[in-house]
C-alpha cells in the first residue's frame, strides 16, 4: 500500500465496505462522507432518546430502592453504645433544632404577612403575635447578636490560625520536593555475605480477633528478607475466641516448619489493650538479645525488603530512635468512604509526617509500620497502658528524652482502610479522644523536661492544642452551630470567605498529595465538616475524662487481597504438600476438631446491619432548617452550603456512605 493512500471504512445499513484510494482523491471522499442521510440522523436521535429514557427509568428505580433501604434501616434501627454514652451533645443539638424550627415558622409567618418592622412604630403594632415578634427582634439585636458575633470572631481567628499552619506545612512539603530532601543512610550497607553483620531484629504482630487478616500478615512478616538467625517474629494474639486461637497457632506452626523463626504468644490476663500486649511481649528474657523491634498491625503487609530499607538508617546515628514508614491502602477505591479517607491520610503522611520529620525530627508514631531502637523504648519508660493512643504516648516520651525520628515517604506498607462508617467512626473517636487524655498526663512532663523551649512550644501549642484540640473545636462550632445560627440572626452573618473561599482552598491543599482524587474535592470538604461532630465529641470526652474516652474497639477488617497476598496464596497452596508433617504434628482428633471449627464458622456467620446515627440526623435537619431560612433572605452561597452540608449529614446519619449491608 502506498504511503499516500488512505483506507476508509464506510458504514451503511446492513452493509460494510472497505475502499482504498490515493491521496489525491482523499479530499473528495471526505467531503462526501460529511453528508449524513436523514435516515441516519433519525436513527441517531432515536438512539440518544433511548439512552435518555433508560436513564430516566433507572432514576425512579434507584430512588425507590434507596427509599426502601432507608425505611427498612429505620425500622430495624437501634442505638449504638457510643450514641447512648453521648446523650448530652445529642440533647443539646436536639433542643437547638426545635428552637430553629420554631424560629423558622415565625420567620415564614412574618415573611408571608410582609411585615416591615423597621417602618412600624411601637403604637402601630397590631396583635399579640406581632408584638412578640417585634420584642424578639429587639432582644436579638441588643443581646443575642453581640454574643454570637463574639463567638464567631473567636472561631474565625482559630480557623485562620489553623489554616496558616496547614499552609506552612504545605510550603515545607514543596520545599522538600524542590530540594529533594530525603533521609540518607550513613555508612555502608550490611555485608550480604556475612549474616553476622546484620543486627538482631524483633518483629511483633499484635492482634485481637483479627480473623480476616491474620494469615496474610503472618505470611508477609515471615517472608521478610533478613538472615534467619538474626530475626524473630512474635505473633501476639489477644483474641478471646478459642476457635480463632487454634487457627492462628496452626498458621504459625506451618511457617515454623518452613524454617521461619516465629513464635505464638497469648496472654492469660488481657489488660491494657495493645499497649499491654506489647509490654508483655517486651518483658520476655530473650528480648535483651535484640537491638531493634519492628511493629506491624494485623492488616499490614510489609514488602520483603522492608527491613533492608529501614534498619540501615540506624547505622551511624546513635540518637535515632524511630524509623517510620508510610501506609498505602489496598482498598482505597472500594467506596466513597475509603476514597475520602485516602485523601486525609495521604496528606497526613506526605505533608504532616514528612515535614515534621525533616525539620523537627519529631512526629507522632503511627503505631505500626515502624522500627524502634529497643534502647529508646526502654529509656522512655516502655509501653504504658494509661491511654488509648499508646503509640503517641511513647513517641512524646521518647522525644522528651532526646531521641530523633525520621519518616521514609518512599517506603510503603500495604494495609486496609475501614470500609464501613461504623468502623471508621469508632476509629476516629479513639484517635481524637486519646490525644486529649495524653495531653493532660504529659503536660507537666513537657514543661519540666530538658528539651529546648522551641520544642516545648511545638509540642504544647502545635502538636496538641492546635492540631488535636482547636481543629475539631472550631470545625464543629463554626460550621455546625454558629453558621446555622447566623441564618436566624442576620446581624452576625458570616462572610463568604469563611464558609466558601478559604475552606475550598484548604481542601485543595489537602487533596494535592492525592491528585487523582481531585473530583472528590467538594465531597471531601462536606464530609470533613460532618466528621467534626464525632471528633468534637471525642475531644471533649478525652479532655474531661468521660467514660467513652477509654473505649478501645478493634477496627473491623475485611482481608482485601493485594499483590503481596499472591505470595501468601502460593504459600497456602503448598500446604497440601505438607499434610504429612501436619499429621505428625497434630493428632487425628485435633485435625477433626479444627475442621469442625472451620465448618462451624462458615455455617454461623455474625449478623451485621447498617445503623442510624442520631446526632448526624438531627444536625442534618438543623442545617436544612437553616437553609430554608437563608432562602427567605435570598442568601445564595449560604443557602447552597447549608443545603449540601445538611444533605451530607443526612446521608451519613442514614449510614448510606461506606459499606452497605443488605
Q: What share of the chain is helix, strand, coil (3-state, %, to 5)?
A: 65, 10, 25
* Neighbour-count burial of 401, counting CB atoms closer than 10 A to its CB (0-12 exposed, 13-18 middle, 19+ buried): middle
* pLDDT above 90: residue 397: yes
- Res. 100 pLDDT band, cuts 50 70 90: confident
Under the banding of pLDDT at 50, 70 and 90, the label for residue 28 is: very low
Question: Residue 427 pLDDT > 60, yes or no?
Answer: yes
pLDDT at residue number 552 = 64
Helix (H), strand (E) counts: the chain: 26, 9
More confident residue, 130 or 323: 323
Q: Reply yes or no on whether the pLDDT at 508 is more than 70.
A: yes
State how far the alpha carbon of 464 is from the alpha carbons of 113, 158, 393, in Å.
52, 14, 12
CA contacts within 13 A on the Cβ side of 471: 22
Euclidean distance between CA atoms 35 and 48, whole angstroms:
20
Residues 151, 158: Cα–Cα separation, whole Å: 11
Burial-class residue 400 by CB neighbours within 10 Å (0-12, 13-18, 19+): buried
Give the three cell numbers for residue 68: 426502601
Q: State which of 64-68, 187-191, 314-318, 592-596 shows the largest mean pLDDT.
A: 314-318
Q: Which fold has domain 198-419?
A: Spore Coat Polysaccharide Biosynthesis Protein SpsA; Chain A (3.90.550)
Residue 576 or residue 249, greater confidence: 249
Strand ranges for 215-369 from DSSP E: 231-237, 262-266, 292-295, 320-329
State yes or no: pLDDT of 591 exceeds 60: no
What's the pLDDT at 102? 81
The position carrying cell 502460593 is 570
- Predicted local distance difference test score (pLDDT) of residue 258: 94
What average pLDDT does this structure show over 314-338? 95
pLDDT of residue 86: 59
Rounded to whole angstroms, what are the CA distances from 630 to 341, 388, 636?
Answer: 31, 42, 8
- List of residues 6+ apart from 596 with CB closer than 8 A: none
pLDDT at 547: 67
Averaged pLDDT, 550-566: 61
Please give the grid coordinates belonging to residue 631.
432562602
In this structure, what DSSP letter does residue 144 have?
I
Phi and psi angles of residue 124, each rounded to the nearest 5 degrees, phi first: -95, 0
Predicted TM-score of the model (pTM): 0.82
Q: Is the pLDDT of residue 530 over 60?
A: yes
Q: Are 159 and 501 in contact (CB under 8 A)?
A: no
Q: Is the dihedral of CA 137, 139, 140, 146 positive or negative?
A: positive
Tens-place pLDDT, residues 331-388:
999 999 999 999 999 999 999 999 999 999 999 999 999 999 999 999 999 999 999 8
Low-confidence winner among 225-234, 331-340, 599-608 (lowest mean pLDDT): 599-608
What is the overall mean pLDDT for the chain? Answer: 83
Residue 417 contacts residue 338 (beta carbons within 8 Å): yes
| Of 32-36, 148-152, 211-215, 454-458, minimum mean pLDDT range | 32-36
Quick one: three-class SS letters along 436-449?
Answer: HHHHHHHHHHHHHC
Cell numbers for 561 = 487481597
Which of left, alpha, beta for 627 (phi over 0: left; psi -120 to 50: alpha)? alpha
Contact 405, 326 (CB under 8 A): no
Which of 219, 213, 211, 251 is CA-nearest to residue 564? 219
Per-residue pLDDT, averaged over 407-435, amounts to 94
Please determine, for residue 115, whether its predicted confidence score (pLDDT) is greater than 70: no
- At residue 531, does pLDDT exceed 60? yes
Identify the bridge partners of residue 237 per DSSP, sorted by sequence position. 207, 266
| Most confident region among 194-198, 404-408, 479-483, 550-554 by mean pLDDT | 404-408
pLDDT at 220 > cutoff 80:
yes
> 463: which 3 cell numbers?
502538636
The three cell numbers locating residue 652: 451519613
Sequential DSSP letters for 190-222: P-SS-GGGSPPEEEEEEESS-TTTHHHHHHHHH
Q: How confident is the model at residue 635 (pLDDT cuts 50, 70, 90)?
A: confident
Give Cβ neighbours of residue 495 (< 8 Å, ≥ 6 apart): none
Least confident range from 191-195, 461-465, 646-650: namely 191-195
Helix (H, G, I), strand (E, B) or coil at 555: coil
pLDDT category, 1, cuts 50, 70, 90?
very low
The pLDDT score that the predictor gives to residue 443 is 96
Least confident of 74-78, 490-494, 546-550, 612-616: 74-78
Better pLDDT: 445 or 46: 445
The residue-averaged pLDDT of 88-116 equals 76
Is residue 406's pLDDT more than 90? yes
Indicate the pLDDT class of residue 11, thresholds 50, 70 and 90.
very low
Cα separations in angstroms, 46 against 40, 51, 361, 387, 517: 10, 9, 66, 66, 36
Would you kindly state where each structural domain of the chain is located, as residue ranges?
198-419
What's the confidence (pLDDT) of residue 608?
A: 63
- Encode pLDDT of 488-504 as tens digits: 888 888 999 999 999 99
Active-site residue list: 238, 391
Q: CA torsion sign, 330 to 331 to 333 to 337?
A: negative
Confidence of residue 568 (pLDDT cuts 50, 70, 90): very low
- Among 24-33, 35-44, 232-241, 625-634, the range of highest mean pLDDT: 232-241
What's the average model confidence in pLDDT over 164-185? 95
Return d(Cα 598, Cα 247) in angstroms, integer.
Answer: 9
Window from 208-217, 265-274, 491-500, 609-618 with minimum mean pLDDT: 609-618
**What is the distance between the alpha carbons of residues 347 and 100, in angstroms, rounded to a whole number?**
37
HSE-CB of 489 using CA atoms within 13 angstroms? 24
Q: What is the mean pLDDT of residues 625-642?
A: 86
Share of the chain above pLDDT 90, in %: 58
Closest CA to 649 of 498, 484, 515, 489: 484
The pLDDT > 70 percentage for the chain reads 76
Rounded distance between C-alpha atoms, residue 257 and residue 235, angstroms: 15
pLDDT beyond 50 at 564: no
Q: Please state the three-class secondary structure of 37-68 as a single string.
A: CHHHHHHHHHHHHHHHHHHHHHHHHHHHHHHH
**Any bridge partners for residue 597, and if so which?**
none
Q: What is the pLDDT of residues 263-310, one digit of tens each?
A: 999 998 888 889 999 999 999 999 999 999 999 999 999 999 999 999
Q: pLDDT at residue 125 above 70?
A: no
What pLDDT, on the 0 to 100 scale, is given for residue 35?
54
In the predicted model, is pLDDT for residue 20 greater than 80? no
Q: Contact at 8 Å (CB) between 224 and 302?
A: yes
CA distance 435 to 640: 35
**pLDDT number for residue 122:** 56
124-138, 313-327, 460-474: least confident range: 124-138
Are the CB atoms for 195 and 229 separated by under 8 Å? yes
Question: Is residue 407 pLDDT above 60, yes or no?
Answer: yes
Task: Give the CA count within 13 Å in the CB-facing half-sphere of 555.
Answer: 20
**pLDDT for 633:** 77
Amino acid at each position: 500500500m502506498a504511503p499516500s493512500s488512505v483506507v476508509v471504512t464506510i458504514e451503511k445499513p446492513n452493509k460494510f465496505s472497505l475502499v482504498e484510494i490515493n491521496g489525491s482523491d482523499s479530499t473528495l471522499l471526505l467531503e462526501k462522507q460529511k453528508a449524513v442521510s436523514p435516515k441516519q440522523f433519525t436513527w441517531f436521535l432515536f438512539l440518544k432518546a433511548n439512552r435518555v429514557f433508560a436513564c430516566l427509568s433507572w432514576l425512579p428505580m434507584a430512588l425507590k430502592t434507596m427509599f426502601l433501604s432507608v425505611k427498612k434501616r429505620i425500622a430495624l434501627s437501634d442505638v449504638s453504645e457510643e450514641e447512648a454514652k453521648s446523650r448530652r451533645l445529642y440533647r443539646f443539638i436536639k433542643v437547638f433544632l426545635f428552637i430553629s424550627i420554631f424560629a423558622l415558622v415565625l420567620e415564614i409567618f412574618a415573611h408571608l404577612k410582609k411585615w416591615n418592622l423597621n417602618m412600624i412604630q411601637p403604637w402601630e403594632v397590631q396583635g399579640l403575635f406581632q408584638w412578640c415578634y417585634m420584642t424578639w427582634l429587639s432582644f436579638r439585636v441588643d443581646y443575642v447578636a453581640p454574643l454570637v458575633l463574639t463567638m464567631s470572631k473567636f472561631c474565625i481567628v482559630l480557623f485562620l490560625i489553623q489554616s496558616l499552619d496547614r499552609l506552612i506545612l504545605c510550603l515545607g512539603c514543596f520545599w522538600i520536593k524542590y530540594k529533594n530532601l530525603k533521609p540518607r543512610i550513613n555508612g555502608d550497607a550490611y555485608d550480604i555475605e556475612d549474616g553476622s553483620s546484620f543486627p538482631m531484629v524483633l518483629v511483633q504482630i499484635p492482634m485481637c480477633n483479627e480473623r480476616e487478616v491474620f494469615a496474610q500478615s503472618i505470611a508477609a512478616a515471615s517472608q521478610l528478607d533478613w538472615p534467619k538467625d538474626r530475626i524473630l517474629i512474635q505473633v501476639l494474639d489477644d483474641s478471646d475466641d478459642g476457635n480463632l486461637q487454634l487457627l492462628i497457632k496452626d498458621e504459625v506452626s506451618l511457617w515454623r516448619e518452613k524454617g521461619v523463626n516465629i513464635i505464638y504468644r497469648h496472654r492469660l490476663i488481657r489488660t491494657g489493650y495493645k499497649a499491654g500486649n506489647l509490654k508483655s511481649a517486651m518483658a520476655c528474657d530473650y528480648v535483651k538479645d535484640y537491638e531493634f523491634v519492628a511493629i506491624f498491625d494485623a492488616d499490614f503487609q510489609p514488602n520483603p525488603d522492608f527491613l533492608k530499607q529501614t534498619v540501615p538508617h540506624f547505622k551511624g546515628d546513635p540518637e535515632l530512635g524511630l524509623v517510620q514508614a508510610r501506609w498505602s491502602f489496598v482498598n482505597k477505591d472500594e467506596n466513597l468512604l475509603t476514597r475520602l479517607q485516602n485523601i486525609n491520610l495521604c496528606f497526613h503522611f506526605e505533608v504532616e509526617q514528612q515535614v515534621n520529620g525533616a525539620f523537627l525530627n519529631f512526629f507522632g508514631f503511627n503505631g505500626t509500620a515502624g522500627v524502634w531502637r529497643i534502647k529508646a523504648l526502654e529509656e522512655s519508660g516502655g509501653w504504658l497502658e494509661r491511654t488509648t493512643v499508646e503509640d503517641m504516648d511513647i513517641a512524646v516520651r521518647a522525644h522528651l528524652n532526646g531521641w530523633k525520628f525520621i519518616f521514609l515517604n518512599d517506603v510503603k506498607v500495604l494495609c486496609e482502610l475501614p470500609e464501613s462508617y461504623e468502623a471508621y467512626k469508632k476509629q476516629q473517636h479513639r484517635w481524637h479522644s486519646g490525644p486529649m487524655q495524653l495531653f493532660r498526663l504529659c503536660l507537666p512532663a513537657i514543661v519540666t523536661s530538658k528539651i529546648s523551649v522551641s520544642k516545648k512550644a511545638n509540642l504544647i501549642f502545635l502538636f496538641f492544642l492546635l492540631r488535636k484540640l482547636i481543629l475539631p473545636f472550631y470545625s464543629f462550632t463554626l460550621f455546625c452551630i454558629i453558621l446555622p445560627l447566623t441564618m436566624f440572626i442576620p446581624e452576625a452573618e458570616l462572610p463568604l470567605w469563611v464558609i466558601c473561599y478559604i475552606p475550598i482552598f484548604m481542601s485543595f491543599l489537602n487533596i494535592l498529595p492525592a491528585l487523582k482524587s481531585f473530583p472528590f474535592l467538594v465531597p471531601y470538604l462536606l464530609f470533613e465538616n460532618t466528621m467534626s461532630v464525632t471528633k468534637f465529641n471525642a475531644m471533649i470526652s478525652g479532655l474531661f475524662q468521660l467514660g467513652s474516652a477509654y473505649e478501645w474497639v478493634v477496627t473491623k477488617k475485611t482481608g482485601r487481597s493485594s499483590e503481596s497476598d499472591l505470595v501468601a496464596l502460593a504459600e497456602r497452596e503448598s500446604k497440601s504438600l505438607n499434610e504429612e508433617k501436619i499429621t505428625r504434628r497434630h493428632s487425628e482428633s485435633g485435625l477433626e476438631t479444627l475442621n469442625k471449627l472451620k465448618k462451624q464458622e462458615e455455617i454461623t456467620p455474625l449478623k451485621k446491619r447498617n445503623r442510624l446515627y442520631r446526632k448526624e440526623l438531627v444536625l442534618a435537619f438543623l442545617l436544612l432548617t437553616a437553609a430554608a431560612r437563608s432562602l427567605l433572605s435570598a442568601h445564595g452561597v449560604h443557602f447552597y452550603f447549608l443545603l449540601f452540608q445538611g444533605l451530607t449529614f443526612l446521608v451519613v446519619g442514614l449510614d448510606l456512605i461506606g459499606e452497605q449491608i443488605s
